[in-house]
Amino acid sequence: MPIYLTGMPGSGKTVLGRALADRLGRVFIDLDEEIEKTSGRSIPKIFEEDGEDGFRALETEALRGASERTGAVVSTGGGIVLREENWRIMDDTGLVLFIDRPPERIAKDVNPGHRPLLQGDRNKIFDLYRARETLYRGRCHIVIPNAGDAQVALETLVSVALEHPMRL
């Protein structure tokens, strides 16, 4: 069963996901990369041409495909939590972990030009966090803090993955 990493844009899902997959000897899937590969367009281009609803439909389709990859570590997009269907897929097929990085740290690091929902303003991350935090916390199986050293967050991820083999 897959391990799904959820969390805000810039929370560390991709970096930590790659490292976790390496440590566990598993396949890594970044849903945003999958969407770009299958659509032949960048995420900003998809938002521009199809809007957020069009992107979310592609995201759900990519999630369905990833859910069939036994044992994969899957980095989801920050907005995966906005559709109930996505929660059902993740909850029914794997272990859902919320990578919780404080928005203050994200705002310092994120490039708002690469994030369509930030529209060039890194401070919009605070609004997104307020709108989504309850969704992340309320539906994940486990919260993984990522407030400081990423290596500590990775070790926590590895420990959690090894402690929950029946979900894997």
pTM comes to 0.90
Q: Is 152 annotated as a binding residue?
A: no
- Considering only CA atoms, which of 117, 46, 132 is closest in space to residue 87? 132
Under a CB-based contact definition with an 8 Å cutoff, are residues 61 and 5 in contact?
A: no
Where do the domains of the chain lie, and which CATH numbers do they carry?
Answer: 3-159 (3.40.50.300)
- Which pLDDT score, from 0 to 100, does residue 116 have? 53
Q: Is 45 annotated as a binding residue?
A: no
Token reading at 71: 């044992």
Q: Is 32 annotated as a binding residue?
A: yes
Q: Is 14 annotated as a binding residue?
A: yes
Who contacts 89 (Cβ-Cβ below 8 Å, separation ≥6)? Answer: 60, 63, 64, 67
The size of the chain, in residues, is 168
- Considering only CA atoms, which of 1, 65, 2 is closest in space to residue 31? 65
Token reading at 59: 């995201």
Q: Is 149 annotated as a binding residue?
A: no
Q: Is 130 annotated as a binding residue?
A: no
Q: How does pLDDT run across 74-127, given as a tens digit for each residue? A: 999 989 999 999 999 999 999 999 999 999 888 887 655 555 555 656 677 888
